[in-house]
Amino acid sequence: MYRHQLAAAVDCTDQLGKIICVGRNYADHAKELNNPIPDQPLLFIKPATAAVSMHRPVSIPDGLGACHHELEMAVLIGQPLTAATAQQVAHGIAGIGLGLDLTLRDIQDTLKQKSQPWERAKAFDGACPLSTFVAVDGVDLQALDIQLAINGELKQCGNTRDMLFSTRVLLQEISQSFTLLPGDVVLTGTPAGVGPLHHGDQLVASLGDLITVNTQVMLAD
């Protein structure tokens, strides 16, 4: 039931909780940005106000430098998870979908140079377009292709088997530090191929044969 509530709630984000993002969870992506490969999950949070529907045009800020796409498998939490066991994590996943971790790359690079947090580059309004979610019954979460094509050209192409930390390991690890609540969303990392978005770009994002989203990019008003 909660999965269907959230599917509708993509357009009314007051029903969403926090959005936990996992950085550098695909080795090839870490390498393409010249980042070290982490020995434990790298976590940061977007507020619920960052969430918008991926099924509407994706709005990117104007005049703030490059805005990069980072397509990720998104996990919807359906039960509270605190210091969770593997079994609790398995029962705590309400659904999976797609998320775009939009990143103001020029701003992020400046923040990194100053050893400052990334929120200005990662947590702005509209920084997390989300698809609807589907049930996970019978789905191998570590065997799903994740792809993003822009204007007919494949830009990101990976598989969740290539995650450094699997979905369930991530949820267990996160829950050791803070509680995951129903309505929270976890973005599980992006494969290589990230790059800038431009006004008018046509996007096709897919997660295996479970979800396909056709959308386009526009500049924010």
Among 96, 99, 118, 98, residue whose Cα is nearest residue 107: 118
Measured in residues, the chain has a length of: 221
Measure CA of the first residue to CA of the last residue in the chain; give whole Å.
Answer: 35
Q: What confidence score (pLDDT) does residue 30 get?
A: 62
Cα distance between residue 218 and residue 167, in whole Å: 32
* Per-domain residue ranges of the chain: 2-219
pLDDT in tens, the chain (221 residues): 333 334 443 333 347 999 999 999 998 876 777 777 778 999 999 999 999 999 999 999 999 999 999 999 999 999 999 999 999 999 999 999 999 999 999 999 999 999 999 999 999 999 999 999 999 999 999 999 999 999 999 999 999 999 999 999 999 999 999 999 999 999 999 999 999 999 999 999 999 999 999 999 999 98
Q: What confidence score (pLDDT) does residue 2 get?
A: 36
State the SS3 of the chain: CHHHHHHHHCCCHHHCCCEEEEECCEHHHHHHCCCCCCCCCEEEEECHHHEEECCCCEEECCCCCCEEECEEEEEEECCCECCCCHHHHHHHEEEEEEEECCEEHHHHHHHHHCCCCCHHHHCCCCCEEECCCECCCCCCCCCCEEEEEECCEEEEEEEHHHECCCHHHHHHHHHHHCCECCCCEEECCCCCCCEECCCCCEEEEEECCCEEEEEEEEECC
Q: pTM to 2 decimals? A: 0.91
Amino acid present at 45: I
Establish how many alpha carbons lie within 13 A of residue 208's alpha carbon, considering only the half-sphere containing its beta carbon.
Answer: 15
Q: What confidence score (pLDDT) does residue 122 get?
A: 97
Superfamily of domain 2-219: Fumarylacetoacetase-like, C-terminal domain (3.90.850.10)
The residues near 171 (Cβ < 8 Å, ≥ 6 apart) are 75, 77, 81, 84, 89, 92, 93, 180, 186
Cα distance between residue 106 and residue 68, in whole Å: 10
